[in-house]
Amino acid sequence: MPRKRRNRAEGADLRSESSKRIKLVVGKTQSQSQSQPHGPQPEETARGAPAAGRMPNKLRKYWDQRFDYFSRFDEGIQIDNEGWYSVTPEAIAEHTARRIAQLHNDHSSKEEGYGRICVVDAFCGVGGNTIKFAEWCEHVIAIDVDAGRLAMARNNAEVYGVADRIEFVLGDFYELAPTLKADVVFLSPPWGGPEYQKARVFDLDSLPIRTGQQWVDRARLISDNVVCFLPRNCRPEDLAALAPTLPCDIEMNRINGFLKAVSVYFGQVATFGSIDPRPAGF
Ligand code: MGP
Ligand code: SAH
């Protein structure tokens, strides 16, 4: 499959020390995911095909949006139950990746530094964000505690032809963070399932596992360029308070006019605009 990004001289020095490939210490392992992947089934591989018989009813609405999550869904994409309700829609993941990829672009020469960054995807799930980071950035460290979902992310990255730029790491991001070097950290932690919508205002202290503040503080051991993907019912002032001394930009992420989530950008990545056109030949 032809790659989207190109034209970087082979063996060129990387722009920053932190974007060099690094050796990772893998944290404690988890058992295989209990969930079985739902991929396309033979009678369901065409666009507009009827919903999969294997899908639990409460997940059907996600199945109906499957091509919003992965435009190449019918080429062998795998998703399990948690993956269905957590995966970032492809258009949003693409937007985030394109914005982050500008980090080392000096804007005087469009090609200089463009995309030459290393991104940690701290909660890679089935790979919605990881795949787009790999399409737009030099290197991705994709972490998940769930071995089954990590394997699905790898499979899905292979479908998109970008697995070779991704280092898949099984482990707990909180434990791994002090060992990592990267230019940007992306945080899309579990929100506690679709029930997140029941609260009028989502409390970042109510995230399962650890609070929003704990995740951001941990990410900042790696870089002050931190991007969080969080529930749409978060309050902007709560988001900004996660790193009050850093530049901050908050985005509302919509698909077809429907608000899906919010993204908060901290650090240098908060200071430049939304999307730079891809440099010619990139
Ligand atoms: P949703 O509200 O469950 O779906 O999640 P949707 O399609 O908006 O349904 P509606 O009926 O409420 O309109 C919206 C988006 O949030 C999903 O597509 C995921 O990208 C993201 N998302 C949802 N959850 C429960 C999580 C989560 O736990 N973790 C992460 N990282 N993302 C989630
Ligand atoms: N952005 C992803 C979805 C992330 S869902 C996508 O687009 O596909 C959140 C993921 O975080 C789940 O897969 C869950 O297994 C993982 N997770 C939970 N706790 C974790 C931890 N401590 N460290 C790393 N991953 C974790």
CA of 166 to the centre of ligand 2 (A): 16
* 112, amino acid identity: E
Those residues whose C-beta lies under 8 Å from the C-beta of residue 133, and which sit 6 or more positions away, are 97, 100, 119, 121, 140, 186
pLDDT at 29 over 80: no
Query: What is the Cα–Cα distance from 98 to 30, expressed in whole angstroms?
Result: 32
Beta bridge partners of 258: 255
CA of 16 to the centre of ligand 2 (A): 27
pLDDT at 8 over 80: no
pLDDT at 64 over 70: yes
pLDDT at 125 over 80: yes
Which atom of ligand 1 is least distant from the CA of 82?
28
**Which of 65, 68, 77, 144 to mutate for ligand 2's pocket (most ligand atoms within 8 Å of CB)?**
144
Cβ of 261 less than 6 Å from ligand 1:
yes
Q: Which of 110-124, 134-148, 246-260 has the lowest mean pLDDT?
A: 110-124
CA of 24 to the centre of ligand 1 (A): 31
Taking 3-state DSSP, the helix, strand and coil percentages for the chain, each rounded to the nearest 5, stand at: 35, 15, 50
pLDDT at 45 over 80: no
Those residues whose C-beta lies under 8 Å from the C-beta of residue 127, and which sit 6 or more positions away, are 142, 152, 153, 154, 156, 157
Cβ atoms within 10 A of the Cβ of 23, count?
6
Nearest ligand, measured from the Cα of 80: 2
pLDDT at 85 over 60: yes
Mean pLDDT value of segment 18-25: 29
Nearest ligand, measured from the Cα of 210: 2
The pLDDT of residue 278 is 55
Query: What is the Cα–Cα distance from 105 to 112, expressed in whole angstroms?
Result: 6
Q: Please list every protein residue whose CB sits less than 6 Å from any atom of ligand 2.
A: 82, 86-88, 122-129, 143-146, 149, 172-174, 188-190, 209
Which string of b and e fits 172-206 if b means at least 16 CB within 10 Å?
bbbebbebbbbbbbbbbbebeeeebeeeeebebee
Structure tokens at 67: 């091509």
The pLDDT of residue 270 is 95
Nearest ligand, measured from the Cα of 171: 2
Structure tokens at 102: 């500008």
Name the H helices within the chain: 60-64, 66-69, 81-86, 90-100, 128-136, 147-159, 173-176, 212-219, 236-240
The pLDDT of residue 272 is 81
Cβ of 66 less than 6 Å from ligand 1:
no
The pLDDT of residue 277 is 54
Which atom of ligand 1 is least distant from the CA of 125?
31
User: How open is the CA angle 40-3-44, to the nearest 5 degrees?
Assistant: 10
CA of 249 to the centre of ligand 2 (A): 23
Compute CA distances 128 → 59, 66, 86, 157, 217, whole Å. 17, 12, 9, 9, 24
Q: Which of 4-18, 135-149, 176-190, 264-278 has the lowest mean pLDDT?
A: 4-18
* Mean pLDDT, the chain, whole residue set: 82
The pLDDT of residue 111 is 58
pLDDT at 209 over 80: yes
Prediction pTM value: 0.85
Higher pLDDT, 15 or 71: 71
Cβ-based burial of 256 (10 A; exposed 0-12, middle 13-18, buried ≥19): exposed
Compute CA distances 112 → 13, 107, 152, 194, 282, whole Å. 12, 8, 34, 42, 11
Mean pLDDT value of segment 173-179: 98
Reduce the DSSP state of residue 114 to 3 states and report it.
coil
CA of 89 to the centre of ligand 1 (A): 9
The segment with the largest mean pLDDT, out of 9-23, 53-67, 109-123, 170-184, is 170-184
CA of 267 to the centre of ligand 1 (A): 26
The pLDDT of residue 52 is 58
CA of 193 to the centre of ligand 1 (A): 8
Handedness of CA 30, 36, 41, 46 (dihedral sign): negative
